[in-house]
Amino acid sequence: MKAGDSALGWIERNSAALIELSDKIWDYAEVGLQELRSAADQEQFLRAQGFEVRSGVAGMPSAFVASWGKGRPVVGFLGEYDSLPGLSQKTVPVKDPVQAGKPGHGCGHNLLGVAGLAGACALKAELELSGLPGTVRYHGSPAEETLVGKVFMAKDGIFDDLDVCLDWHPGAANVVRNGSSNAMNSVKFTFHGRTAHAAGDPHHGRSALDAVELMNVGANYLREHIIEKARIHYVITDGGGEPNVVPAHAQVWYYVRAPERAQVEEIYAWLRDIAKGAALMTQTTFDVRLLAGCYNYLPNQSLNRLLHRTMEQVGPNKWTEEELEFARKMNESFPAGQKEAGLRASKAPPEVFSQLINDTILPYRDDETPGGGSTDVGDVSWITPTGRFAAATGVLGQPGHSWQVAACSGMSIGHKGMLMAAKILALAGLELATNPEEVSKAREEWAGRTKDRPYKTPIPEGITPPLDQLPKH
């Protein structure tokens, strides 16, 4: 038997149970901070595998840490299991919700979590058999979509003693990108005015909605004077009731994003000044509620190169005629040119353009340019070296956060991608557990990049996870 055989053997033997677990979570489709059943099923699975589980960590009922083993290195894996509102979808290639308007796994987090859990269990199986030292951790992290889970877990010091951490995300291609993500703040501004009859005696009213509108005008003028790569977007979550009542309350929810944490802080401070100005102009008052904030992902070349080598060792999935037919049908739902534009933007090699589902491994990309989005994996990467990759669990050309992703995440295309990801996580974890050089390389690179810039939680003291802000379904 060679190194890795026990880990891979564990995944082979347990693949049916892993698929069942992932399908259950897909079926629950619980949104952020409400993933109680998804977390409980994972915890039960891990306990049965001999892991010690701490439930409800960092003030979140659906957050947990599972740990096995002794001594160093401490190798961490990340898992998510939150769904997205409104993306309920059957496992068919045309839009057809299980229940219209209900949540669905439109980002494939049912696969994400189970592959992380499987990577941890498989690594444990190999270490246990060989008697090698090392601690394996799996972090059940809720509410990634709202950038809550790992940020509050980080604030509680949960990642502090990791030597290294491995993560992945379901996607349309097998690729290791060294790219960063945007740092971000999620914040709600609530204005308070005075109600009055909007026609009878408007002069007695003070409109909270006016304040929201003026704040948004201010924010839109602000755009000229911030760095080009920053992003500001908002929705009005409360705009009043009826036009004949001057709204006494109104609320706007903002996301502020930029490539670096310090840039987000700077723009966020200016935005708060704009809110002050809007309140002054309208004789209203306001309060600010920071819901979450996160760091940009700090790439780690050493870990990402290791993940790329391991991905090549594991090899890509091949797809059956049935799966390709599913993809062909799903392609009809994509606007013309969308797939090609996406592939060009991600610098995919020419052979990928003719594939329906990715069956190759894309070249390693060391370009660190951030994508537009944000993830709370960013916070973990500033606390411990963190490597990431994407595995093909869906159809090339699929939009992110879509019914198409939800459909693929509940059937064989998603399952196969998940098992491939589990193998990569387990084997890369084994390399780190048995080769101290790999760990020190990753840690040296990380130490160099975080020198003079230690992680400081973006969450001000006294703020707890936004359990009171849960959407109603």
List the one residue out of 307, 314, 47 whose CA is nearest residue 167. 307
Stretch of 69-77, 102-110, 156-164, 308-316 lying at the interface with Zn ion (CB under 5 A)? 102-110
Cα dihedral: 87, 92, 95, 97 (round 10): -50
Burial class from Cβ neighbours inside 10 Å (0-12, 13-18, 19+) for residue 40 reads middle
Say if CB 129 and CB 65 are below 8 A apart.
Answer: no
Instruction: Say how far apart CA 70 and CA 67 lie, in whole Å.
Output: 9
The rounded distance, in Å, linking the Cα atoms of 188 and 180 is 26
CA–CA distance from 317 to each of 6, 206, 230, 393, 428 (Å)? 21, 62, 37, 10, 18
Q: Residue 107 or residue 175: which is nearer to Zn ion going by CB? A: 107
- Structural contact between residues 400 and 342, judged by C-beta atoms closer than 8 angstroms: no
What lies within 8 Å, CB to CB, of 399 at 6+ separation is 334, 338, 405
**Minimum distance from residue 20 beta carbon to Zn ion (Å):** 22
Nearest approach, Cβ of residue 144 and Zn ion (Å): 6
Tell me the closest approach of the beta carbon of residue 83 to Zn ion, in angstroms.
10
Among 21, 78, 87, 107, binds Zn ion (CB under 5 A): 107
User: CB of 56: closest distance to Zn ion in angstroms?
Assistant: 23
Told to check if 406 binds Zn ion by CB under 5 A, we report no
Contact window for Zn ion (CB under 5 A) among 105-113, 203-211, 313-321, 444-452 = 105-113
Q: Which is nearer to Zn ion, 107 or 294 (CB)?
A: 107
Q: How far is the CB of 81 from Zn ion (least distance, A)?
A: 11
Single out the residue of 252, 393, 391, 275 nearest to residue 326, CA to CA.
393
How far apart (Å, rounded) are the C-alpha atoms in residues 197 and 73? 67
CB-CB contact of 151 with 376 (8 Å): yes
Span interacting with Zn ion, options 38-46, 104-112, 308-316, 356-364, rule CB under 5 A: 104-112
| Site stretch for Zn ion (CB under 5 A), options 103-111, 146-154, 178-186, 428-436 | 103-111
Name which of 107 and 330 has its Cβ closer to Zn ion. Answer: 107
Residue 424: CB minimum distance to Zn ion, A: 17
- Whichever of 107 and 115 has its CB closer to Zn ion, that residue is 107
Alpha-carbon span 380 to 376, nearest angstrom: 7
Q: Is 327 in the site for Zn ion (CB under 5 A)?
A: no
Instruction: For Zn ion, give the closer residue by CB, 107 or 356.
Output: 107
In whole angstroms, what is the distance from residue 196 CA to residue 203 CA? 8
How many residues sit in the footprint of Zn ion (CB under 5 A)? Answer: 1
Comparison of 278 and 422: residue with beta carbon closer to Zn ion: 422
Using the contact rule CB under 5 A, the part of the chain among 100-108, 200-208, 326-334, 451-459 near Zn ion is 100-108
Q: Which residue is nearest to Zn ion (CB)?
A: 107
With respect to Zn ion, which residue has the nearer C-beta, 107 or 136?
107
Let me know: does 73 contact 432? Beta carbons within 8 Å: yes
Closer by beta carbon to Zn ion, 57 or else 405: 405
Q: Does 29 bind Zn ion (CB under 5 A)?
A: no
**8 makes contact with Zn ion (CB under 5 A):** no
If the CB atoms of residues 53 and 107 are measured against Zn ion, the closer one turns out to be: 107
- Listed in sequence order, the DSSP H helices in 29-131 are 36-48, 109-130
Q: DSSP characters for 354-369?
A: G-SS--S-PPPB----
Least distance to Zn ion, CB of residue 84, Å: 9
> Shortest Cβ distance from residue 109 to Zn ion (Å)?
6
Contacting range for Zn ion; rule: CB under 5 A; set: 106-114, 129-137, 378-386, 419-427: 106-114
Asked if residue 352 binds Zn ion (CB under 5 A), the reply is no
Contact 87, 150 (CB under 8 A): no
Segment lying near Zn ion (by CB under 5 A), choices 101-109, 122-130, 259-267, 452-460: 101-109
User: 156-215: which residues touch Zn ion (CB under 5 A)?
Assistant: none
Beta pairing partners, 338: none
Report CA 61 to chain centroid distance, whole Å: 18
Interface residues toward Zn ion, by CB under 5 A: 107
